[in-house]
Amino acid sequence: MKRTIPAAIGTSVAVALTLTACGGGDEAPAEADGPVTLSLAGWSLDTTPEFQTLADAFHEENPDVTVELQEYSADDYDTQMTADLAAGSAPDLYVQKNLKNFFTYSSGGQLMDVSDVAGDLDPATGGVDAYEVDGATYAVPYRQDSWVLYYNKDLFEKAGVDAPDGSWTWDDYAEAAEELTAGLGGDAEGTYQHSWQSTLQGFALAQTEGADLTSGDFGYLEPYYDRALALQDAGAQVDFGTMTTNSLTYQAQFGTQKAAMMPMGSWYVATLVAQQDSGDADDFAWGMAPIPQADASTTGTDATPVTFGDPTGLGINPAIDESKVAAAKEFLAFAAGEGGAEALAEIGITPALLSDGVVDAYFALDGVPTDDLSRFAFATHDTRPENPVDPATAPLQNILGDAHTAIMSESASVADALAEAEDRAASEIG
């Protein structure tokens, strides 16, 4: 049974917001008289170039429109944005960092209806449907990361283990991780699965037939946790306690060759290329393979592998000055279209639109592996959301985050932790 969240939980954040008209009505917005300046939210601006890249590329095509960035904390983005929306100090355009809190923004009247922009996007743009609520679209995706399997070609060769070929299931992955660990003789683990709940729960939700986050039935997670615990206990990956106590980073674990494999989002490509160039990562040959599959039905390069990843979207603050609305919508269309996609691809960011030209631009970057399997893994996948748009998603993910910690730290069995999560979902969410 699909549960609904109590009003007290579902509106707790929305109550703090200043409700405004959602915009996007039949009347055309007033045109600005002269140059327009738009404000755009971003985070970690010194190390996250995508926002300035989009702003500059759009300005180059639209010299009368300047996009200025307003910086937020990467860790507390949604908290800060909620406060600024309530205070009336939020920027004209703001990012939907993931889908976890999208329902809160859209139901709270804090996103303008941009169905007209979405309707004109290339049908190949990934993630558009994720921003639709009750027939209206409240944001458009400009990037769509998907999880792939990174692997160190040099370590595979050193261990004498066959490299991924696109045909792997999770059982094949686990077997390879143990073989690599043995073959490398303690110099590196076979794999590294980071501490996030995504590294297990995201795949389980995407790849398990009939899995439904909002159902309150979490049994679909069990085989993924059993496999991860077996790898942890076999020493084929760093145990969760060491990972969290020592604050290990996935960039260092893979980039300094402490692990031969790593499931991670496509955003890591740009980081690894930059770190190898700067010397923060070792110099070694690497590639991408499709993420392992639940069974053989979706393996092989003649099939479409199933993976997960939330889109990253852009929405318009409905409190924006009416004279800026047209320019704001033009920016959204650019960011989600071919122009924005090519600009992002050229800095190693995975755009929502993966046309042939965009993929060519991405793989023209120095340091990006150019083998056929890497290109296939990057460009071909059925990417399903980690956070289905539903009022219960955010509180359910918090409950499952607690279960993840209990399981991976081995303070509770898989069965007991998931049973407790189901009980909490029933009592706290209904």
pLDDT per residue as tens, the chain (430 positions): 333 333 333 333 333 333 333 344 444 555 656 799 999 999 999 888 999 999 999 999 999 999 999 999 998 999 999 999 999 999 999 999 989 889 899 999 999 999 999 999 999 999 999 999 999 999 999 999 999 999 999 999 999 999 999 999 999 999 999 999 999 998 999 999 999 999 999 999 999 999 999 999 999 999 999 999 999 999 999 999 999 999 999 999 999 999 999 999 999 998 999 999 999 999 999 999 999 999 999 999 999 999 999 999 999 999 999 999 999 999 999 999 999 999 999 998 999 999 999 999 999 999 999 999 999 999 999 999 999 888 899 899 999 999 999 999 999 999 999 999 999 999 999 7
pLDDT for position 28: 52
Residues 6+ apart with CB under 8 A from 18: 85, 86, 87, 88, 319
User: What amino acid is encoded at 168 in this protein?
Assistant: W
User: Measured in whole angstroms, how far is the alpha carbon of residue 10 from the centre of its chain?
Assistant: 23
pLDDT for position 430: 73
* Beta strand segments in 52-145, E: 65-72, 93-96, 132-133, 136-137, 140-144
Residues 6+ apart with CB under 8 A from 45: 51, 52, 69, 71
pLDDT for position 29: 54
Q: What are the structural domains, with CATH classification, of the chain?
A: 7-145+311-354 (3.40.190.10), 147-305+389-429 (3.40.190.10)
pLDDT for position 100: 87
